[in-house]
A and B are shown apart, each in its own frame.
Chain A
């Protein structure tokens, strides 16, 4: 079932990414604004998010090997890493807004906040569900909820790789 959710959300992100690229080529993004992106710090937070996929995988292994302690521990680490990613996004947003790059100020602003914002929203949803799974684990519930949330979380990470590439990496190489 979760794979169907991933299937439909994949199309949603495809549309948002294509819109971002369309806006980049249509009116174009101001180089001044693009240069305000901090690829280094975004890169660090990317690593954090990718790490959270690995820790979630360890949590899932803990579940399937009947080791609830491992499940709970790695779940906590995953949630913390996800929260760190969001905090990083938040500081990036704060810095950019301070630089006067806003949703309504420019086409770049609108496109950037929309694409990264919808991704962030999916991270928030994932964190909420991970928290619920964690609470269920603490209550001794042995149902396989983690098997359902794991593909979703990995999907959110993969989407971030695409978003990171399109928003942070590609502008370094092309002249949009």
Chain B
């Protein structure tokens, strides 16, 4: 490799902030350093995860037995709406942005994002959007029409109180944050890569996040348009979705799902990226089929815009439209399936280390496949005609969101924990968390496939005492309680080992990508002083192999998972 390259410092020093400064809360509020902002995103995500999880537990208590009176119907409807909205917009998205803004600069050998102040702006908009949404509880009631908020139920004459207005404003505001951060990520990846790191040889996490940002910039405008039109209806008495006055209930559904379907790929692609890194490092192998994994991400991003109406198979669009969206929805399963087999190919022939991170990755393979095949069931539109809007969908979506996105995020969290905190968790505690979470999760949601098949629709605050309804719901609630306990264990692990775990050193996993090349964990304020010109998607590994790391790498045998 060639001579080392000095990594440029940001142009002007941060006003009023010296390099070693420690100003407590003020430092965080004024932070423009990508690592601090990344941590703030992750803390926000964890906080809302606990709240969204608590809402889920309350829902499951109400549904534990038939004809229960724990929650009145209006409260239940607000809770399931807030649960879904929170988990998608204020848990999954901030977690993804947190990991992205923290690690993308590090993995491309940069010292900062392209626009540090825009980065901070993106975070604070996301947070304020969430706070505005939750303020609705104090202002007459939270939104109660479901997270996809169909028209005309979302109109003023059917939803009198202000909850849906807070929903609209909160999502518009946090959406601005998401768009700003995506622009930031794209410019960072395009212009701040260390020389030698080509766009077609990016670490897969960086590539997925990069592609994902384009997807996000194309999808959010549709949500913004839908929310803008809804606010015009509700506040200025326009008639876009008000069928009695000539509006269209279906226009809302189209606009929402043109956003909504790409949104689910927006929350899974970065998880795929994290998992790609985790599979490589903990199998001690390069990814199987780099080009296919990278190309299939682009295929998914493009196809994501061709499938939205599979959420509308039952609205009466006609079989020509149904067939088109059915074919497209099946098609998008193929690049996704390709990835699963590529990850299996990665662990084949490897030397697998069963760290907590890797266990989540392997569980993901199975759980996401379950979610994926039930998704194909819905693509087959006559089957969708039986199962849509039932608990079978609830099972499917939780298998892809939790078995997919959350498992990926947890694999990433335990992988990057030593770099962010400088400490190692106790792997036994990690395994306890893994098993409580995984067993709880599967008990909660597997039986819901059956509940859907035996006729239980979704979003019902109670159900009659029909055969098996009570038993299966009870099992589901028991599983949810186990998940709740595991959530507490997670918070404990982060708190305890983040502060007083064993020191991790700079590269405890003997990993492959540049974030592990910083001279400390956590990285110093200026990530890198200098780096050799990188090559390939395992740049740090190449450097270690050529002795360019100056012997900094930690010997693998010091870490026993």
Contacts and interface: CB of A to CB of B under 8 A. Distances in A.
Do A and B touch (CB < 8 Å)?
yes
Contacts of A8: 179, 183, 217-218, 220-221
Main secondary structure of the interface of A (DSSP, over half): helix
Contacts of A106: 239, 246
Nearest to B238: A110
Interface in B151-203: 179, 182-183, 186-187
Bin chain B's interface residue count. Answer: 20 to 34
A1 B255 contact: no
B248 A12 contact: no
Main secondary structure of the interface of B (DSSP, over half): helix
Nearest to A26: B248
B448 to A, nearest CB: 34
Contact of B237 (A7, A11, A15, A103): A103
Contact of B187 (A4, A15, A104, A107): A4
B240 interface: yes
A141 to B, nearest CB: 16
B251 A26 contact: yes
Contacts of A110: 232-233, 238-240
A176 to B, nearest CB: 13
Interface in A42-73: none
Contacts of A15: 221-222, 225-226, 255, 258
B533 interface: no
Contact of B222 (A5, A11, A27): A11
A40 B306 CA distance: 39
Given A4-B217, A103-B238, A114 B232 contact: yes
Nearest to A25: B248
A12 B183 contact: no
B187 to A, nearest CB: 5
B187 A1 contact: yes
Contacts of A103: 232, 236-238
B224 interface: yes
Contacts of A1: 114-115, 183, 187
A22 interface: yes
A107 B246 CA distance: 6
A5 B183 contact: yes
A12 B224 contact: yes
A107 B239 CA distance: 6
B245 A7 contact: no
A83 interface: no
A27 B248 contact: yes
Interface string A6-35: 011101101110010011001100000000
A148 B283 CA distance: 46
Chain A CB within 10 A, most for which of B233, B238, B240, B251: B238
B494 interface: no
A104 B246 contact: no
B335 interface: no
A122 to B, nearest CB: 13
B229 interface: yes
B114 to A, nearest CB: 8
B248 A11 contact: no
Contacts of A114: 228-229, 232, 238, 240
B247 interface: yes
Given A103-B232, A103-B237, A16 B218 contact: no
A107 B221 contact: no
Contacts of B237: 103-104
A11 B217 contact: yes
A22 B225 CA distance: 14
A39 B186 CA distance: 41
28 contacts: A1-B114, A1-B183, A1-B187, A4-B182, A4-B217, A7-B217, A8-B183, A8-B217, A11-B219, A11-B222, A19-B225, A19-B240, A19-B255, A22-B248, A22-B251, A23-B240, A23-B251, A26-B246, A26-B251, A27-B246, A27-B248, A103-B238, A104-B236, A104-B237, A107-B247, A110-B240, A111-B240, A114-B240
Interface of A: 1, 4-5, 7-9, 11-12, 14-16, 19, 22-23, 26-27, 103-104, 106-107, 109-111, 114, 118
Given A4-B182, A107-B240, 7 more contacts: A1-B183, A15-B221, A23-B251, A109-B238, A110-B238, A114-B229, A114-B240
